[in-house]
Structure 1
């Protein structure tokens, strides 16, 4: 069994926007130039012979992080494409160095997300398809106020701790994290393979962990039909239901709810009669009034 990669402790990060998901599930936060290889003088060390002593480097510029191969023996790949020059990384990109597979993640600004999810700006690999699924938004509450209260360094460390803890709570119960938008996590469960029991279990796990969370946060869960476009970054989700769940987070804030379910989420999770109604509200840009509920205790 190959030992897990060793990590040197990086300095206190100045940005929360970029990190690597390692093969063993840990997160490695990027804080500037990062070399990857087998030698101990790298910032990220992999103790496997398929990784060269100095295999690749990630360097930051105003557009984001770029990866470049350092003439490694087995090459560096982004989404299975060989890296022959500095290559800009985007959220969700798969990095392969030897037999080590990492995933690059970064928070996206809401403005950038609107561009990335528009079909006109997405490089298609196959046709758009429609699929029913559960959609979850988990959003840090009052992060700006927290930043002012405890300072940017402490607030950032708490935010990083929140992401690191929330990810397994979602993924262990069949959820897939699609993106990190601002200070929010956007996740989904495919309706044709995930079960209501898995989604309910994820909600229970999140609520049980909530008292230990380093930051206050809100969760909104919805169910609906979503447009999927397969792109070089993976599945891009778009459509009315995606807009609905993102905008419902503001409704949760106005209702003072830390966890909120849409009516379709309640029905699809077979929780009718078990959830208390929060009331009816409008959702920005979507006609009608919608009833929202708290999850069962």
Structure 2
């Protein structure tokens, strides 16, 4: 899949992977000279089979898609108009033309002209974060205020996860799926990310939920194409786990596997065995509370 932003002058800027937009020089697309553009203003994130999602990173002046402010991550469609400050872009995408002599099956090597898809299956960590009660929240708050809150939340979560070597793989409208791409990632990295996310839960203006699992994941990876798809029953399992967490009212819920590996970094408490849609039998889950770091205030006495 090929995608681009077309400028007002007709130039096309290719969009691949995680495409950042803003005033700062570190962005993929730098927009200088307009004070209405934030240093880190927005993100276009490629995910799945040809999906591109537009994310406002909590900018002061917002992002308009087809004349309406983006309040949460939204999937872009061909010919969508994107406005950031005084800059106007038209998003375009199309299927990449077939390469002569290359079959439609999975290609197995890399050349100077083509990055080939590779697949690997490993035990990896998965994390889902999602905003609780997004629909009533969107009805309660003005659109501009909601957009800033959600964007800043996403930006904070992204920084926390990336600081511990994780990656946001997929935006979900009111949340995201993150993973740690190395099977060698030490549990301390995961615990560090969860600890910071739980601190964020404590100071965020709206509640959000965390679920965590470690399982066997197939990664379909073509870096140059910006794609990085996660496949397998354990991916489905963590999405079902998020539904269980919602029913139980748990702000942070771990699978049994995840709880066993993080037990030394915080307090895990069994919340019983529960059915999981699409998976046979009952499965034990655990609440989790990160251990306070040195210098953190002690939790209030119960």
TM range (shorter): 0.5 to 0.7
Aligned residue among 173, 178, 181 for 1:187: 178
CA distance in 2, matches of 1:195, 1:64: 43
Q: 1:131: Cα distance to partner?
A: 1.3
CA distance in 2, matches of 1:66, 1:166: 27
Matched, 1:264 2:257: yes
Q: 1:164: Cα distance to partner?
A: 1.3
Q: CA RMSD in A?
A: 3.8
SS in 1 for 2:289: coil
CA distance in 1, matches of 2:60, 2:144: 18
Q: Could you tell me whether the CA contact under 8 Å between 1:132 and 1:190 is conserved in 2?
A: no
CA distance in 1, matches of 2:236, 2:94: 26
Q: 1:280: Cα distance to partner?
A: 1.3
Give the corresponding residue for 1:201: 192
Aligned residue among 89, 93, 96 for 1:88: 93
Give the corresponding residue for 1:296: 289
Give the corresponding residue for 1:150: 141
1:1-297 to 2 correspondences below 5 Å? 6=32, 8-9=35-36, 18-19=54-55, 30-32=63-65, 62-63=77-78, 87-88=92-93, 125-231=116-222, 232-271=225-264, 274-297=267-290
Q: Could you tell me whether the CA contact under 8 Å between 1:130 and 1:227 is conserved in 2?
A: yes
Q: 1:282: Cα distance to partner?
A: 1.2
CA distance in 2, matches of 1:269, 1:27: 38
CA distance in 2, matches of 1:183, 1:129: 29
Alpha-carbon displacement from aligned partner over 1:158-198 (angstroms, at most 9, x marks no partner): 21121111111111111111111121111011343321000
Using the size of structure 2 for normalisation, the TM-score is 0.61
CA distance in 2, matches of 1:273, 1:169: 18
SS in 2 for 1:276: strand
Unaligned stretches of 5+ residues in structure 2? 1-23, 45-52, 67-74, 83-89, 96-104, 107-114, 291-302
CA distance in 1, matches of 2:56, 2:137: 25
CA distance in 2, matches of 1:134, 1:29: 33
Using the size of structure 1 for normalisation, the TM-score is 0.62
Q: How many residues align?
A: 217
Alpha-carbon displacement from aligned partner over 1:198-236 (angstroms, at most 9, x marks no partner): 000111111112122132100000000101112322321
CA distance in 2, matches of 1:241, 1:155: 32
Unaligned stretches of 5+ residues in structure 1? 34-59, 68-84, 91-118
